[in-house]
Amino acid sequence: MAQSTGSQKAWGGVFREPTDKRVEAFSQSVSFDKRLADDDIDASIAHAKMLVACGLLTVPEADAIVAGLEEIRVDIAAGRFEFTAAKEDIHLHIESALTAKLGDTGRKLHTARSRNDQVATDLRLYCRRAIDRLDRGLIELQRAFLGLAIREQGLVIPGYTHLRRAQPVLASHQLLAWCEKFARDRERLADCRKRTNILPLGSGAMAGTSLPIDREHVQQSLGFEGLAANSLDGASDRDFVCELAFVLSLAAVHLSQWAEEWILWSTEEFGFLRLPEGFCTGSSIMPQKINPDVLELVRGKSARMIGNVQSLLVLMKGLPTAYNRDLQEDKEAIFDSIDTLEAMLGVAAPLVAGTKFDHTRVAATLERGHLDATSLMEAIIAEGVPQRLAHEAVGHLVRLAMTRNVSLAELSDEEFCREYAGWNGSLRSALGASRAVERMVSFGSTAPALVADQMAVWQRRLDSASEA
């Protein structure tokens, strides 16, 4: 027969037997949900003030509760607070400590609330704060990319599709592409924040409460945008957790894509970039190695964040309406995703800021791969030649240049005329990587003037974001 601990049940009353020690260890969550302490205290203070306004607590009782909660906050921050598996979560720890200080007054704090809506409220507060921090981190990363784009104005680099040389682009244009991706991540965070910022407190365990509470009072105190309209859903909704995990995983995927590109670009084979050595590591056996380990870890950590999304969705898929204890398992996954993305952003921004392009290496390889072929084709199209015919003619010219191991510009006028009867000397202005870049005119393209405009736009956007 199982040995029992002799400890009292967390919620007393109906039970005749104490909780088995092994169950305490198995079901505890305080080892990871203690990070919700500030959110639990903030929500409890708002709840206590509402109870006073509704006549369910006296002013002296509420003042004592608030003072006691603030003392507990200080003790937790100072490392003086004792955590134990017997008090399974942070919510019971704080309530027990408050009761130890105030007796029956402390026991009144849980009036008109359940641990179900309490946990849901705390988690929303935590996720809301995390969203704001991560948004600031993404802004800093965008600033780093913009700063590098400004420093590298005018530098033309090969652009790639299928990891094959395609068309020339400004390095600044390539760098601003990452600002666009992270802007979408910020938009998704802001949108997710709207659905996170709904107050469930007052939903009770599932059906609400018969006591005369004022949910709007708590809503305003805690800065929520709205109230959960259905108590069954309010106490158990974790859509916002799943959504946030996805948003963070997509941001991590963007970081992984950037890391992969820069790992390639910093190889000897490419040689486009020089990474800051403070963000690289060496080899235990090969003295010459300068490895891009930070970028590799950024790329690798995205995998666990993708896994967290799947874990949360699988957790949710079989749950019936209202709260189920399975939902305790939501926290470790979302905490990990938040922590991981914060860590990734913490190293990404300074790494970008410290990276330099190797202009000599880029210039030495820029004319390889016939990057100006599309520019020549479009110049021929501009003379009235159908696109398919122009494409075919330039394709033949590229094949000839490849056979001779020369650039298109090194072909003779006679050779051009054999493939395009309308050849004239003015078409040579379309040849060369730098000229190809300068000929772009469409909005959003790599045209130098347009890229300069975009850098100015991004400067204003990021300045405005910092002021908000």
Q: Where are the domains of the chain?
A: 21-111, 116-364, 367-458
Cβ–Cβ < 8 Å for 107, 12: no
pLDDT > 70: what percent of the chain? 97
**Nearest-angstrom CA–CA distance, 4 and 15:** 13
CA 463 to chain centre: 20
Tokens of 333: 């996954």
**Nearest-angstrom CA–CA distance, 436 and 158:** 11
Question: What pTM, to 2 d.p., does this model score?
Answer: 0.93
Q: pLDDT at position 411, please?
A: 96
Q: pLDDT at position 8, please?
A: 47
- Residue holding tokens 């009072």? 217
Q: pLDDT at position 3, please?
A: 37
Active site residues: 162, 283
Q: pLDDT at position 281, please?
A: 94
Q: What is the CATH topology of the domain spanning 21-111?
A: Fumarase C; Chain B, domain 1 (1.10.275)
Ranges of residues in the chain with a pLDDT under 70 are 1-12
**Nearest-angstrom CA–CA distance, 380 and 429:** 11
94-117 tens-digit pLDDT: 999 999 999 999 999 999 999 999
Q: Which is nearest to 376 in space by CA: 426, 308, 325?
A: 426
Q: pLDDT at position 97, please?
A: 97
Q: Which is nearest to 407 in space by CA: 430, 424, 391?
A: 430
**Nearest-angstrom CA–CA distance, 166 and 185:** 28
CATH number of 367-458: 1.10.40.30
Q: pLDDT at position 208, please?
A: 95
User: What residues are paired with 291 via a beta bridge?
Assistant: 281
Looking at every residue in the chain, the average pLDDT score rounds to 95
Q: pLDDT at position 7, please?
A: 45
CATH number of 116-364: 1.20.200.10
